[in-house]
Homo-oligomer: A and B are copies of this chain.
Amino acid sequence: MDIQSIINRIASDVSTASDRGQVADYIPELASIDPNQFGISVALPDGTCFSAGDAQTPFSIQSVSKVFTLALALGRFGDQLWTRVGREPSGLPFNSILQLEQENGIPRNPFINAGAIAITDSILTGHEPKEVLGELLRFVQTSAEDADIHINDTVAHSETEHGDRNLALAHFMASYGNLQNHPDRTCGTYFHQCAIEMSCQQLAMAGRFLTGHPDAPRLISLQRTRRINALMLTCGHYDGSGDFAYRVGLPGKSGVGGGILVIAPNRASIAVWSPGLNEYGNSQLGTYAIEKFAQMTGWSVFG
């Protein structure tokens, strides 16, 4: 079956699902989203893109943005970055502070909130938040070949209003000397990065630089591509990462907005979106769809 037929079938399959998970409710902008939406896009390295469902509807990418800031930070600091953040799965929820205390303010990996805040803090040092967010948007727009990707200011503002947990993480890291900017400033930038909006099609296009294929935009080195994929596989779905690797077999990064970016190295960049979340905070139908997709294509990094 060709890719278009596969994703059509999945979209049709998903449309009848009864258990769609729970929409994130910590800010009104996410809580009010219609859970009955589902989109999927598959972008080949050369930019050919297949879509089904609500693939043109923009959504809040939230933690999927952590992949892009990590790419920026690795580009700027290389392996020195790992003095501030670890590379291990955490075995804990995405917003846990437990591990920070046990490991002296060094977050376990760049994809849990504390780690992502440290990454944002690193690229913020010596720059204005506006500059950093501009650079980030340009990176995403370049990779997606689409200048029409922006930040939703209402969402960003709402994140700030409800940002106590992340501010706690930031102040906590600051108390260990692992924050270079004021927590308000770093978190403010972080909340804006999370409020980037993209459709499945835009996100799939933007993810192509991680396929490592010569036809895709080459924004970072091949070695770095592999390494980000490795981190996505081991840590990209919080405490559901092992399960995702087991069931799907492809690197992915999920966001609380219901989006997931999945990379099939050398083959394609895939984006799925459905707002309802499972117990780990990952899109319930998105996870299901991508598992189905991996089965039907036979794509897996594991053989």
Contacts and interface: CB of A to CB of B under 8 A. Distances in A.
A226 B249 contact: yes
B87 A242 contact: yes
Given A98-B98, A171-B165, A230-B249, A90 B91 contact: yes
B225 A231 contact: no
Given A168-B168, A227-B302, A266-B303, 10 more contacts: A87-B246, A89-B89, A90-B91, A168-B171, A213-B303, A226-B300, A233-B233, A235-B242, A301-B301, A301-B302
Contact of A175 (B102, B168, B174): B168
A109 B303 contact: no
Nearest to A239: B88
A226 B174 contact: no
Interface of A is mostly: helix
Interface string A288-303: 0000000000001111
A176 B92 CA distance: 18
Contact of A242 (B88, B168, B183, B226): B88
A240 B301 CA distance: 20
A106 to B, nearest CB: 13
B303 A222 contact: yes
A104 to B, nearest CB: 12
Contact of A89 (B98, B170, B234): B234
Contacts of A96: 101
Interface in A97-119: 97-102, 108-109
A172 to B, nearest CB: 4
A211 B96 CA distance: 37
B226 A231 contact: no
B234 A88 contact: no
A281 interface: no
A202 interface: no
A302 B212 contact: yes
Given A97-B97, A233-B245, A246-B230, A88 B88 contact: no
A263 to B, nearest CB: 8
Interface in A155-170: 164-165, 167-170
Interface in A170-190: 170-172, 174-175, 183
A193 B160 CA distance: 29
Interface string A219-261: 0001001110111011100011111011001010000000000
B172 A164 contact: yes
Interface string A262-303: 000110000000000000000000000000000000001111
A86 interface: yes
Contact of A171 (B87, B101, B167, B300): B167
A159 to B, nearest CB: 13
